[in-house]
Amino acid sequence: MSRCDELGSITDEPGRLTRTFASPAMRRANKLVGSWMRDAGLQVHEDAAFNLLGRWNSTQRGVKTFLLGSHLDTVRDAGKYDGPLGVLTAIAAVQLLRERGVKLPFNLEVVGFSDEEGVRYQTAYLGSRALASTLTAAELARLAERGQPCPPVGQRQKLADKAVRAPFEPLTQILKAHRPRGEFLGYAEVHIEQGPVLEKNNLPVGVVTAIAGQSRLHVEFYGIAGHAGTVPMNLRHDALAGTAEFVLAVERCGMLATVGKLEVAPGASNVIPGHAAFTLDVRDQSDARRLGAVRTLHDQAKAIARRRGLKLTWTPVQQTAAVQCDKRLTQIFSKCVAQRGLEVLQLPSGAGHDAVAISAICPVAMLFVRCKDGISHNPAESVQAGDARVGVEVLADFISRLADVGQASRLSPFKI
């Protein structure tokens, strides 16, 4: 846990934890976590997408690799555990496996992904998608145009923007992080639950069954800026009032849906807003339900624009389908939890994880660790050391079991 604290002090913004893709703080975090990986006997390198990788090669030659990890980037004003806990438990599990003298019939690689949160480009998984080779140069070029220096607030940040942007132009260089198809046997990620279910059930860990799909969009209303004291209320084309009406429609859409960022221009107390730009994030375990809700919201936005004489732009930024965790890997996690005398609670994830991106190239599984009051994406995020310890032990047991299966069959643990 002291490592989570130390890592939590590495930030792009003094006074609060914000660490975004390819930023100076991320580079410093990779250096520090890289040193911990080395201490655990891993061979370390940073790939072209700023993913940090630590490798334990099997003594058996020509075998595939099992991947463990999570992400090292954060949201703005973040807690210390969303992401880093999964990377640090993986490193601790490697240490435990070495102490136990486990021989691996596959290579093991621990990864700290560079962009799970999508703060900088409003699109998640840049690091894991680069590794999984599911990004295209055209997509990255579009993103680079829209790229947000992070975080765009205040004078202090303006000074930091240059440095934050500097290290990775052009963005297409991250494509070089791709790994050969078929290289990975599977991926396992430990992550804080970010919800209250484990705490309600008085359990330190839970096994994840599936990860909700997401739609992320960029929406803009264009109205007419005008004098706050002279234009009568019934003659206004107020972009912010239209947005306010839409935000309430989002709240009532019957889905997990959020407008999380809003920018209003020109932005003065005596000027009618002529322009409002905002994000929309919609999630559900059912892709059909989610896509249906996005269509309905689009229709509602069009109706608001018509009625208020506004222009609307509606730009899908990212869609990820719901992902089922691999049944065999999930069963192994469940056995490892039960072996410790704990009730096995299986639960879906409403949050997105790098496992979504990695599911494109291999089976994935996840273990959740209880967090206090279910609070996350908030500096109040808190995890008990004892719960993190259970996470480390279950993860080490999981790898030991996989190794046993692999040794017994003298084959890869999975046919892929």
Choose from Mn ion, ligand GLV, none: what does 83 bind? Cβ within 5-8 Å by kind. Answer: Mn ion
**Contact yes or no for 241/252 (Cβ under 8 A):** no
| Minimal distance, residue 82 CB to ligand GLV, in Å | 6
Which residue's CB is nearer to ligand GLV, number 92 or number 351?
351
Beta-bridge partner residues of 208:
347
Instruction: Give the separation between CA 310 and CA 390, rounded to whole angstroms.
Output: 54
Regarding 352 and contact with ligand GLV (CB under 6 A), the answer is yes
How, if at all, do strands 184-192 and 65-71 pair? parallel
| Minimal distance, residue 77 CB to ligand GLV, in Å | 14
Choose from ligand GLV, Mn ion, none: what does 47 bind? Cβ within 5-8 Å by kind. Answer: none
Contact with ligand GLV (CB under 6 A) among 13, 115, 117, 354:
117
Regarding 83 and contact with Mn ion (CB under 5 A), the answer is yes
Task: Please enumerate in sequence order all residues whose Cβ is within 8 A of that of 169, keeping only pairs 6 or more positions apart, or say none.
Answer: 144
**Contact yes or no for 161/111 (Cβ under 8 A):** no
Instruction: Give the separation between CA 21 and CA 72, rounded to whole angstroms.
Output: 9
Choose from Mn ion, ligand GLV, none: what does 284 bind? Cβ within 5-8 Å by kind. Answer: none
| Minimal distance, residue 112 CB to ligand GLV, in Å | 15
Instruction: Give the separation between CA 267 and CA 225, rounded to whole angstroms.
Output: 10
Beta-bridge partner residues of 314:
219
Q: Exposed, middle or buried, 251 (CB in 10 Å: 0-12/13-18/19+)?
A: exposed
**Contact yes or no for 383/198 (Cβ under 8 A):** no
Which residue's CB is nearer to ligand GLV, number 166 or number 380?
380
Regarding 381 and contact with ligand GLV (CB under 6 A), the answer is no
Instruction: Give one DSSP letter per residue of 23-72, joined into a string.
Output: -HHHHHHHHHHHHHHHHTT-EEEE-TT--EEEEE--SSTT--EEEEEEE-
Regarding 42 and contact with ligand GLV (CB under 6 A), the answer is no
**Contact yes or no for 102/399 (Cβ under 8 A):** yes
Regarding 86 and contact with Mn ion (CB under 5 A), the answer is no
Which residue's CB is nearer to ligand GLV, number 172 or number 318?
318
Choose from ligand GLV, Mn ion, none: what does 352 bind? Cβ within 5-8 Å by kind. Answer: ligand GLV
Q: Which residues inside 314-343 make contact with ligand GLV, applying CB under 6 A?
A: none
Which residue's CB is nearer to ligand GLV, number 86 or number 242?
86
Which residue's CB is nearer to Mn ion, number 82 or number 397?
82
| Minimal distance, residue 117 CB to ligand GLV, in Å | 6
Regarding 82 and contact with Mn ion (CB under 5 A), the answer is yes
| Minimal distance, residue 86 CB to ligand GLV, in Å | 12
| Minimal distance, residue 376 CB to Mn ion, in Å | 7
| Minimal distance, residue 117 CB to Mn ion, in Å | 5
Task: Please enumerate in sequence order all residues whose Cβ is within 8 A of that of 368, keeping only pairs 6 or more positions apart, or say none.
Answer: 190, 191, 192, 193, 198, 205, 206, 207, 208, 347, 349
Contact with ligand GLV (CB under 6 A) among 337, 351, 355, 394:
351
| Site residues, Mn ion (CB under 5 A) | 82-83
| Site residues, ligand GLV (CB under 6 A) | 117, 351-352
